[in-house]
Chains A and B, each alone.
Chain A
Amino acid sequence: MKFNVSVVVAIATGLITLVAYFIPVAPLQAVRAGLLQSGAILATVALLLGAGNLLSVHARKIRDRKPGHLYSIFLVISLLSVFIVVTIFGTQHPYSVWIVTQVQQPLEVALTGLLAGVLVIAGVRVMFRRPHWSTYLFFLTVVIVLLGTAPLPFVAIPFLQGFRNWLAQVPAVGGGRGLLLGIALGAATTGLRVLMGFDQPYQR
Protein backbone atom coordinates (compact mmCIF):
# COMPACT_ATOMS: atom_id res chain seq x y z
CA MET A 1 0.00 0.00 0.00
CA LYS A 2 1.80 3.05 -1.23
CA PHE A 3 0.73 6.49 -0.17
CA ASN A 4 1.04 9.52 -2.34
CA VAL A 5 -0.99 12.57 -3.26
CA SER A 6 -3.43 10.60 -5.41
CA VAL A 7 -4.19 8.20 -2.60
CA VAL A 8 -4.70 11.02 -0.09
CA VAL A 9 -7.04 12.91 -2.43
CA ALA A 10 -9.05 9.79 -3.23
CA ILE A 11 -9.44 8.76 0.40
CA ALA A 12 -10.28 12.28 1.57
CA THR A 13 -12.89 12.78 -1.13
CA GLY A 14 -14.54 9.45 -0.42
CA LEU A 15 -14.59 9.95 3.32
CA ILE A 16 -16.06 13.45 3.09
CA THR A 17 -18.82 12.28 0.75
CA LEU A 18 -19.63 9.28 2.91
CA VAL A 19 -19.55 11.11 6.24
CA ALA A 20 -21.63 13.99 4.91
CA TYR A 21 -24.23 11.41 3.89
CA PHE A 22 -24.73 10.48 7.51
CA ILE A 23 -23.90 13.73 9.32
CA PRO A 24 -25.99 16.67 8.09
CA VAL A 25 -23.50 19.39 8.97
CA ALA A 26 -23.79 22.44 6.75
CA PRO A 27 -20.12 22.99 5.86
CA LEU A 28 -19.67 19.31 5.21
CA GLN A 29 -22.78 19.26 3.08
CA ALA A 30 -21.49 22.21 1.08
CA VAL A 31 -18.17 20.49 0.45
CA ARG A 32 -19.95 17.35 -0.53
CA ALA A 33 -22.20 19.24 -2.93
CA GLY A 34 -19.16 20.77 -4.56
CA LEU A 35 -17.51 17.36 -4.88
CA LEU A 36 -20.63 15.88 -6.39
CA GLN A 37 -20.88 18.72 -8.86
CA SER A 38 -17.24 18.21 -9.83
CA GLY A 39 -17.91 14.54 -10.30
CA ALA A 40 -20.78 15.27 -12.65
CA ILE A 41 -18.59 17.62 -14.68
CA LEU A 42 -15.82 15.00 -14.83
CA ALA A 43 -18.34 12.49 -16.07
CA THR A 44 -19.13 14.77 -18.99
CA VAL A 45 -15.45 15.14 -19.75
CA ALA A 46 -15.08 11.37 -19.57
CA LEU A 47 -17.74 11.09 -22.24
CA LEU A 48 -15.67 13.26 -24.55
CA LEU A 49 -12.57 11.29 -23.68
CA GLY A 50 -14.37 8.13 -24.61
CA ALA A 51 -15.23 9.53 -28.00
CA GLY A 52 -11.60 10.55 -28.46
CA ASN A 53 -10.37 7.09 -27.54
CA LEU A 54 -12.80 5.53 -29.97
CA LEU A 55 -11.58 7.84 -32.71
CA SER A 56 -7.93 7.01 -32.05
CA VAL A 57 -8.59 3.26 -32.08
CA HIS A 58 -10.33 3.38 -35.41
CA ALA A 59 -7.94 5.91 -36.88
CA ARG A 60 -5.12 3.48 -36.20
CA LYS A 61 -7.14 0.69 -37.74
CA ILE A 62 -7.62 2.78 -40.87
CA ARG A 63 -4.00 3.78 -40.98
CA ASP A 64 -2.75 0.22 -40.63
CA ARG A 65 -5.35 -1.09 -43.11
CA LYS A 66 -6.36 -3.80 -40.73
CA PRO A 67 -9.29 -6.05 -41.61
CA GLY A 68 -12.53 -4.18 -41.23
CA HIS A 69 -10.99 -0.75 -41.65
CA LEU A 70 -13.79 0.19 -44.05
CA TYR A 71 -16.24 -0.06 -41.18
CA SER A 72 -13.91 2.12 -39.18
CA ILE A 73 -14.05 4.76 -41.90
CA PHE A 74 -17.83 4.80 -41.70
CA LEU A 75 -17.68 5.00 -37.93
CA VAL A 76 -15.34 7.95 -37.95
CA ILE A 77 -17.44 9.78 -40.53
CA SER A 78 -20.68 9.16 -38.65
CA LEU A 79 -19.18 10.11 -35.29
CA LEU A 80 -17.83 13.39 -36.57
CA SER A 81 -20.97 14.28 -38.48
CA VAL A 82 -23.29 13.62 -35.55
CA PHE A 83 -20.99 15.53 -33.23
CA ILE A 84 -21.00 18.52 -35.54
CA VAL A 85 -24.78 18.49 -36.04
CA VAL A 86 -25.65 18.17 -32.36
CA THR A 87 -23.05 20.76 -31.37
CA ILE A 88 -24.41 23.28 -33.83
CA PHE A 89 -28.15 22.65 -33.48
CA GLY A 90 -28.49 21.34 -29.93
CA THR A 91 -29.99 18.17 -28.50
CA GLN A 92 -33.64 19.21 -28.85
CA HIS A 93 -33.40 20.26 -32.47
CA PRO A 94 -35.37 18.12 -34.93
CA TYR A 95 -32.13 17.24 -36.74
CA SER A 96 -30.61 15.78 -33.56
CA VAL A 97 -33.85 14.01 -32.70
CA TRP A 98 -34.05 12.63 -36.22
CA ILE A 99 -30.56 11.14 -35.94
CA VAL A 100 -31.48 9.39 -32.71
CA THR A 101 -34.93 8.19 -33.66
CA GLN A 102 -34.34 7.34 -37.30
CA VAL A 103 -30.79 6.01 -37.20
CA GLN A 104 -29.71 5.03 -33.74
CA GLN A 105 -33.00 3.66 -32.52
CA PRO A 106 -33.59 1.26 -35.45
CA LEU A 107 -30.02 0.01 -35.18
CA GLU A 108 -30.28 -0.64 -31.47
CA VAL A 109 -33.72 -2.20 -31.78
CA ALA A 110 -32.32 -4.51 -34.43
CA LEU A 111 -29.53 -5.54 -32.10
CA THR A 112 -32.05 -6.18 -29.36
CA GLY A 113 -34.01 -8.35 -31.73
CA LEU A 114 -30.80 -10.15 -32.51
CA LEU A 115 -30.43 -10.63 -28.78
CA ALA A 116 -33.73 -12.49 -28.63
CA GLY A 117 -32.64 -15.01 -31.23
CA VAL A 118 -29.21 -15.36 -29.62
CA LEU A 119 -30.80 -16.11 -26.28
CA VAL A 120 -33.06 -18.78 -27.71
CA ILE A 121 -30.15 -20.47 -29.45
CA ALA A 122 -27.98 -20.16 -26.35
CA GLY A 123 -30.75 -21.71 -24.29
CA VAL A 124 -30.88 -24.73 -26.59
CA ARG A 125 -27.10 -25.00 -26.67
CA VAL A 126 -26.73 -24.93 -22.90
CA MET A 127 -29.10 -27.86 -22.60
CA PHE A 128 -26.85 -29.92 -24.84
CA ARG A 129 -23.64 -28.59 -23.34
CA ARG A 130 -24.61 -28.93 -19.69
CA PRO A 131 -27.28 -31.63 -19.40
CA HIS A 132 -27.70 -31.17 -15.69
CA TRP A 133 -30.86 -31.10 -13.58
CA SER A 134 -30.26 -27.39 -12.89
CA THR A 135 -30.25 -26.73 -16.60
CA TYR A 136 -33.59 -28.47 -17.07
CA LEU A 137 -35.01 -26.56 -14.10
CA PHE A 138 -33.75 -23.37 -15.75
CA PHE A 139 -35.53 -24.33 -18.95
CA LEU A 140 -38.76 -25.14 -17.11
CA THR A 141 -38.75 -21.77 -15.36
CA VAL A 142 -38.17 -19.96 -18.63
CA VAL A 143 -41.04 -21.74 -20.33
CA ILE A 144 -43.49 -21.09 -17.51
CA VAL A 145 -42.65 -17.39 -17.29
CA LEU A 146 -42.81 -16.97 -21.05
CA LEU A 147 -46.14 -18.70 -21.36
CA GLY A 148 -47.47 -16.82 -18.39
CA THR A 149 -46.35 -13.44 -19.69
CA ALA A 150 -47.25 -13.72 -23.33
CA PRO A 151 -50.77 -14.15 -24.60
CA LEU A 152 -51.93 -17.46 -25.98
CA PRO A 153 -53.97 -17.79 -29.12
CA PHE A 154 -57.44 -19.11 -28.97
CA VAL A 155 -56.95 -20.66 -25.53
CA ALA A 156 -56.45 -19.38 -22.05
CA ILE A 157 -54.78 -21.36 -19.33
CA PRO A 158 -56.07 -19.80 -16.10
CA PHE A 159 -53.60 -21.13 -13.61
CA LEU A 160 -50.60 -20.39 -15.81
CA GLN A 161 -50.67 -16.65 -15.33
CA GLY A 162 -51.16 -17.02 -11.59
CA PHE A 163 -48.29 -19.49 -11.40
CA ARG A 164 -46.14 -17.17 -13.42
CA ASN A 165 -46.95 -14.28 -11.12
CA TRP A 166 -46.11 -16.39 -8.11
CA LEU A 167 -42.81 -17.41 -9.70
CA ALA A 168 -41.91 -13.84 -10.59
CA GLN A 169 -42.93 -12.38 -7.24
CA VAL A 170 -41.88 -15.00 -4.72
CA PRO A 171 -38.91 -17.20 -5.71
CA ALA A 172 -37.54 -14.75 -8.25
CA VAL A 173 -37.87 -11.80 -5.94
CA GLY A 174 -36.45 -13.76 -3.06
CA GLY A 175 -33.53 -14.88 -5.13
CA GLY A 176 -33.15 -11.39 -6.49
CA ARG A 177 -33.09 -9.93 -2.99
CA GLY A 178 -30.47 -12.41 -1.94
CA LEU A 179 -28.40 -11.51 -4.98
CA LEU A 180 -28.86 -7.84 -4.26
CA LEU A 181 -27.76 -8.34 -0.67
CA GLY A 182 -24.62 -10.11 -1.77
CA ILE A 183 -23.99 -7.53 -4.44
CA ALA A 184 -24.46 -4.78 -1.88
CA LEU A 185 -21.96 -6.40 0.45
CA GLY A 186 -19.50 -6.81 -2.37
CA ALA A 187 -19.97 -3.23 -3.47
CA ALA A 188 -19.51 -2.06 0.12
CA THR A 189 -16.26 -3.98 0.53
CA THR A 190 -15.00 -2.73 -2.80
CA GLY A 191 -15.71 0.82 -1.81
CA LEU A 192 -14.11 0.31 1.60
CA ARG A 193 -10.97 -1.08 -0.04
CA VAL A 194 -10.71 2.08 -2.10
CA LEU A 195 -11.36 4.26 0.94
CA MET A 196 -8.69 2.45 2.94
CA GLY A 197 -6.19 2.69 0.10
CA PHE A 198 -5.87 -1.02 -0.58
CA ASP A 199 -7.20 -0.67 -4.09
CA GLN A 200 -5.64 2.05 -6.15
CA PRO A 201 -6.99 1.80 -9.66
CA TYR A 202 -5.63 5.25 -10.47
CA GLN A 203 -1.98 4.61 -9.85
CA ARG A 204 0.32 1.84 -8.70
Chain B
Amino acid sequence: MGAMDVVLALVVGLLLAGLILFFTFLRRGQWPTLRRLPALDALSADLGRSVESGTRLHLSLGDGTLYGPEASATLVGLAALSQIAKAGSVSDKPPLATSADGAVALLSQDVYRVAFRHQRAEDRYDPLLGRIAGLGPLGYAAGTMHTAPDEDVTATLVVGPLGLEAALVAEAGSRRGHVVGGTLDPVAQALLYASADSPLVGEELFATGAYLRVNRAHAASVQAQDIVRWIVIAAAIAWAALRTVGIL
Protein backbone atom coordinates (compact mmCIF):
# COMPACT_ATOMS: atom_id res chain seq x y z
CA MET B 1 0.00 0.00 0.00
CA GLY B 2 1.60 3.18 -1.14
CA ALA B 3 1.91 6.35 0.80
CA MET B 4 -0.70 8.00 -1.37
CA ASP B 5 -3.15 5.28 -0.62
CA VAL B 6 -2.52 5.61 3.10
CA VAL B 7 -3.04 9.35 3.01
CA LEU B 8 -6.18 9.01 0.98
CA ALA B 9 -7.57 6.39 3.33
CA LEU B 10 -6.80 8.56 6.36
CA VAL B 11 -8.43 11.60 4.80
CA VAL B 12 -11.59 9.73 3.92
CA GLY B 13 -11.72 8.08 7.34
CA LEU B 14 -11.26 11.32 9.24
CA LEU B 15 -13.78 13.10 7.04
CA LEU B 16 -16.36 10.43 7.68
CA ALA B 17 -15.69 10.44 11.43
CA GLY B 18 -15.93 14.22 11.61
CA LEU B 19 -19.19 14.30 9.69
CA ILE B 20 -20.69 11.61 11.90
CA LEU B 21 -19.74 13.50 15.03
CA PHE B 22 -21.02 16.75 13.59
CA PHE B 23 -24.40 15.42 12.65
CA THR B 24 -24.74 13.42 15.83
CA PHE B 25 -23.97 16.12 18.38
CA LEU B 26 -24.27 19.46 16.76
CA ARG B 27 -27.48 18.73 14.92
CA ARG B 28 -28.90 16.61 17.67
CA GLY B 29 -32.34 18.13 17.70
CA GLN B 30 -32.96 17.50 14.03
CA TRP B 31 -33.68 14.17 12.56
CA PRO B 32 -32.75 14.24 8.90
CA THR B 33 -35.37 13.88 6.24
CA LEU B 34 -34.69 10.58 4.59
CA ARG B 35 -36.12 9.59 1.27
CA ARG B 36 -38.76 6.97 1.42
CA LEU B 37 -37.66 3.41 1.16
CA PRO B 38 -40.67 1.25 0.38
CA ALA B 39 -38.82 -1.79 1.67
CA LEU B 40 -38.41 -0.36 5.17
CA ASP B 41 -41.94 1.02 5.19
CA ALA B 42 -43.11 -2.48 4.44
CA LEU B 43 -40.98 -3.72 7.36
CA SER B 44 -42.90 -1.60 9.85
CA ALA B 45 -46.18 -2.84 8.46
CA ASP B 46 -44.99 -6.43 8.56
CA LEU B 47 -43.93 -6.14 12.16
CA GLY B 48 -47.26 -4.71 13.24
CA ARG B 49 -49.16 -7.29 11.26
CA SER B 50 -47.20 -10.14 12.76
CA VAL B 51 -47.79 -8.87 16.29
CA GLU B 52 -51.50 -8.47 15.72
CA SER B 53 -51.96 -11.80 14.03
CA GLY B 54 -49.90 -13.68 16.58
CA THR B 55 -47.28 -14.81 14.10
CA ARG B 56 -43.58 -14.28 13.86
CA LEU B 57 -41.23 -12.08 11.98
CA HIS B 58 -38.03 -13.81 10.91
CA LEU B 59 -34.87 -11.72 10.78
CA SER B 60 -32.13 -13.38 8.78
CA LEU B 61 -28.73 -12.13 9.92
CA GLY B 62 -27.01 -14.03 7.15
CA ASP B 63 -24.10 -16.43 7.20
CA GLY B 64 -21.40 -13.85 7.77
CA THR B 65 -19.06 -13.38 10.68
CA LEU B 66 -17.87 -10.44 12.72
CA TYR B 67 -14.28 -10.64 11.47
CA GLY B 68 -14.73 -10.89 7.76
CA PRO B 69 -15.36 -8.32 5.04
CA GLU B 70 -19.09 -8.73 5.55
CA ALA B 71 -18.96 -7.84 9.24
CA SER B 72 -20.47 -4.42 8.57
CA ALA B 73 -23.65 -6.00 7.22
CA THR B 74 -23.80 -8.22 10.31
CA LEU B 75 -23.53 -5.19 12.56
CA VAL B 76 -26.31 -3.46 10.63
CA GLY B 77 -28.45 -6.55 11.07
CA LEU B 78 -27.83 -6.55 14.83
CA ALA B 79 -28.77 -2.88 15.05
CA ALA B 80 -32.00 -3.57 13.18
CA LEU B 81 -32.63 -6.52 15.49
CA SER B 82 -32.41 -4.29 18.55
CA GLN B 83 -35.32 -2.18 17.34
CA ILE B 84 -37.33 -5.08 16.02
CA ALA B 85 -36.85 -7.05 19.22
CA LYS B 86 -38.08 -4.13 21.30
CA ALA B 87 -41.15 -3.69 19.16
CA GLY B 88 -41.91 -7.38 18.96
CA SER B 89 -41.17 -8.34 22.55
CA VAL B 90 -44.77 -7.67 23.52
CA SER B 91 -46.02 -10.17 21.01
CA ASP B 92 -46.97 -13.74 21.83
CA LYS B 93 -44.40 -14.82 19.30
CA PRO B 94 -41.44 -12.48 19.37
CA PRO B 95 -39.33 -12.09 16.23
CA LEU B 96 -36.78 -14.77 15.50
CA ALA B 97 -33.19 -14.05 14.49
CA THR B 98 -31.16 -16.68 12.69
CA SER B 99 -27.50 -16.70 11.80
CA ALA B 100 -24.75 -19.12 10.83
CA ASP B 101 -22.02 -17.99 13.19
CA GLY B 102 -21.69 -18.67 16.88
CA ALA B 103 -20.49 -15.19 17.80
CA VAL B 104 -23.32 -13.56 15.87
CA ALA B 105 -25.84 -15.85 17.53
CA LEU B 106 -24.46 -14.91 20.95
CA LEU B 107 -24.71 -11.23 20.15
CA SER B 108 -28.25 -11.61 18.90
CA GLN B 109 -29.17 -13.33 22.17
CA ASP B 110 -27.68 -10.42 24.05
CA VAL B 111 -29.65 -7.97 21.95
CA TYR B 112 -32.84 -9.85 22.80
CA ARG B 113 -32.00 -9.87 26.46
CA VAL B 114 -31.53 -6.13 26.52
CA ALA B 115 -34.68 -5.56 24.51
CA PHE B 116 -36.80 -7.64 26.84
CA ARG B 117 -35.28 -5.95 29.84
CA HIS B 118 -36.02 -2.59 28.30
CA GLN B 119 -39.65 -3.60 27.90
CA ARG B 120 -39.88 -5.00 31.44
CA ALA B 121 -40.56 -8.44 30.06
CA GLU B 122 -37.48 -10.31 31.23
CA ASP B 123 -39.55 -13.27 32.29
CA ARG B 124 -40.50 -13.82 28.68
CA TYR B 125 -36.95 -13.76 27.37
CA ASP B 126 -35.97 -16.89 25.53
CA PRO B 127 -32.27 -17.13 24.60
CA LEU B 128 -33.06 -19.38 21.68
CA LEU B 129 -34.81 -16.57 19.89
CA GLY B 130 -31.34 -15.82 18.61
CA ARG B 131 -30.27 -19.09 17.09
CA ILE B 132 -28.15 -20.74 14.49
CA ALA B 133 -30.15 -22.19 11.64
CA GLY B 134 -27.22 -24.02 10.09
CA LEU B 135 -23.48 -23.89 9.69
CA GLY B 136 -22.15 -22.70 6.38
CA PRO B 137 -24.02 -20.79 3.68
CA LEU B 138 -26.12 -23.60 2.29
CA GLY B 139 -26.54 -25.24 5.66
CA TYR B 140 -27.93 -21.94 6.85
CA ALA B 141 -30.21 -21.72 3.83
CA ALA B 142 -31.46 -25.24 4.46
CA GLY B 143 -32.14 -24.39 8.10
CA THR B 144 -34.06 -21.22 7.33
CA MET B 145 -36.18 -23.06 4.79
CA HIS B 146 -37.53 -25.03 7.75
CA THR B 147 -37.77 -22.07 10.07
CA ALA B 148 -40.54 -20.32 8.21
CA PRO B 149 -43.17 -23.08 8.35
CA ASP B 150 -42.15 -24.46 11.75
CA GLU B 151 -42.14 -21.15 13.56
CA ASP B 152 -45.26 -19.72 11.95
CA VAL B 153 -43.41 -16.97 10.17
CA THR B 154 -45.37 -14.53 8.07
CA ALA B 155 -42.70 -11.94 7.29
CA THR B 156 -39.02 -12.37 6.52
CA LEU B 157 -36.41 -9.67 6.78
CA VAL B 158 -33.00 -10.35 5.28
CA VAL B 159 -30.47 -7.93 6.73
CA GLY B 160 -27.03 -9.41 6.65
CA PRO B 161 -24.35 -10.93 4.49
CA LEU B 162 -25.69 -13.58 2.18
CA GLY B 163 -24.53 -15.02 -1.05
CA LEU B 164 -26.39 -17.00 -3.63
CA GLU B 165 -28.31 -18.75 -0.86
CA ALA B 166 -30.23 -15.51 -0.37
CA ALA B 167 -32.55 -16.68 -3.12
CA LEU B 168 -33.42 -19.84 -1.19
CA VAL B 169 -34.03 -17.89 2.01
CA ALA B 170 -36.21 -15.37 0.18
CA GLU B 171 -38.13 -18.08 -1.65
CA ALA B 172 -38.89 -19.91 1.59
CA GLY B 173 -40.05 -16.65 3.14
CA SER B 174 -42.13 -15.59 0.17
CA ARG B 175 -44.16 -18.79 0.41
CA ARG B 176 -45.21 -17.73 3.92
CA GLY B 177 -45.56 -13.99 3.58
CA HIS B 178 -43.76 -10.79 2.80
CA VAL B 179 -40.00 -10.67 2.22
CA VAL B 180 -37.81 -7.62 2.68
CA GLY B 181 -34.21 -8.27 1.67
CA GLY B 182 -30.88 -6.54 1.57
CA THR B 183 -27.31 -7.77 1.50
CA LEU B 184 -23.82 -6.71 0.50
CA ASP B 185 -23.00 -9.12 -2.28
CA PRO B 186 -24.09 -7.55 -5.58
CA VAL B 187 -24.86 -10.98 -6.98
CA ALA B 188 -27.11 -11.72 -4.02
CA GLN B 189 -28.70 -8.32 -4.44
CA ALA B 190 -29.66 -9.28 -7.96
CA LEU B 191 -31.15 -12.50 -6.67
CA LEU B 192 -33.08 -10.66 -3.98
CA TYR B 193 -34.33 -8.20 -6.56
CA ALA B 194 -36.03 -11.13 -8.28
CA SER B 195 -37.17 -13.14 -5.26
CA ALA B 196 -37.94 -10.58 -2.53
CA ASP B 197 -41.08 -8.47 -2.43
CA SER B 198 -39.21 -5.38 -1.27
CA PRO B 199 -35.50 -5.52 -2.06
CA LEU B 200 -32.87 -3.21 -0.62
CA VAL B 201 -30.47 -2.30 -3.41
CA GLY B 202 -26.89 -1.20 -3.04
CA GLU B 203 -26.01 0.47 0.22
CA GLU B 204 -29.66 0.96 1.25
CA LEU B 205 -28.87 -1.83 3.70
CA PHE B 206 -26.71 0.59 5.68
CA ALA B 207 -29.63 3.01 5.99
CA THR B 208 -31.73 0.44 7.85
CA GLY B 209 -30.57 1.68 11.24
CA ALA B 210 -31.47 5.27 10.39
CA TYR B 211 -34.94 4.33 9.19
CA LEU B 212 -35.59 2.21 12.24
CA ARG B 213 -34.31 5.03 14.45
CA VAL B 214 -31.75 3.00 16.32
CA ASN B 215 -29.92 6.12 17.39
CA ARG B 216 -28.89 9.50 16.09
CA ALA B 217 -25.50 8.22 14.95
CA HIS B 218 -27.13 5.98 12.37
CA ALA B 219 -28.91 8.92 10.78
CA ALA B 220 -25.67 10.90 10.96
CA SER B 221 -23.89 8.05 9.18
CA VAL B 222 -26.38 8.19 6.34
CA GLN B 223 -25.82 11.89 5.97
CA ALA B 224 -22.05 11.48 6.11
CA GLN B 225 -22.17 8.73 3.47
CA ASP B 226 -24.22 10.92 1.17
CA ILE B 227 -21.77 13.81 1.45
CA VAL B 228 -18.68 11.69 0.88
CA ARG B 229 -20.40 9.85 -1.96
CA TRP B 230 -21.00 13.12 -3.79
CA ILE B 231 -17.38 14.07 -3.16
CA VAL B 232 -16.22 10.78 -4.64
CA ILE B 233 -18.54 11.20 -7.63
CA ALA B 234 -17.24 14.68 -8.26
CA ALA B 235 -13.67 13.51 -7.86
CA ALA B 236 -14.19 10.57 -10.24
CA ILE B 237 -15.78 12.78 -12.89
CA ALA B 238 -13.07 15.36 -12.52
CA TRP B 239 -10.30 12.77 -12.68
CA ALA B 240 -11.85 11.15 -15.75
CA ALA B 241 -12.22 14.52 -17.45
CA LEU B 242 -8.66 15.53 -16.67
CA ARG B 243 -7.33 12.25 -17.93
CA THR B 244 -9.42 12.49 -21.04
CA VAL B 245 -8.10 15.95 -21.72
CA GLY B 246 -4.61 14.75 -21.06
CA ILE B 247 -3.72 16.78 -18.07
CA LEU B 248 -3.33 13.75 -15.83
Contact = CB atoms under 8 A, between A and B. Distances in A.
B40 interface: no
B168 A51 contact: no
Interface in A2-18: none
Contacts, number: 176
Interface in B108-163: 110-111, 114, 118, 128, 131-132, 134-136, 138, 141-142, 146, 150
Contacts of B16: 185, 188-189, 192
B132 A196 contact: no
Contacts of B142: 111
Given A50-B102, A201-B111, A186 B72 contact: yes
A99 interface: no
Interface of A: 22, 39, 42-43, 45-54, 56-57, 60, 66-68, 71, 107-108, 111-112, 114-115, 118-119, 122-123, 125-126, 129, 138, 175-176, 178-183, 185-194, 196, 198-199, 201-204
A43 B67 contact: yes
A186 B206 contact: yes
Contacts of B114: 203-204
Interface of B: 6, 9-10, 12-13, 16-17, 20-21, 24, 65, 67, 69, 71-72, 75-76, 78-79, 82, 100-103, 105-107, 110-111, 114, 118, 128, 131-132, 134-136, 138, 141-142, 146, 150, 164-165, 167-168, 170-171, 184, 186, 189, 191, 193-195, 197, 202-203, 205-206, 215, 217-218, 221, 224-225, 228-229, 232
Contact of A115 (B67, B101, B164): B164
A108 B138 contact: yes
A62 to B, nearest CB: 13
Nearest to B100: A50
B168 A53 contact: no
Given A123-B194, A183-B206, 4 more contacts: A50-B102, A108-B136, A182-B202, A198-B20
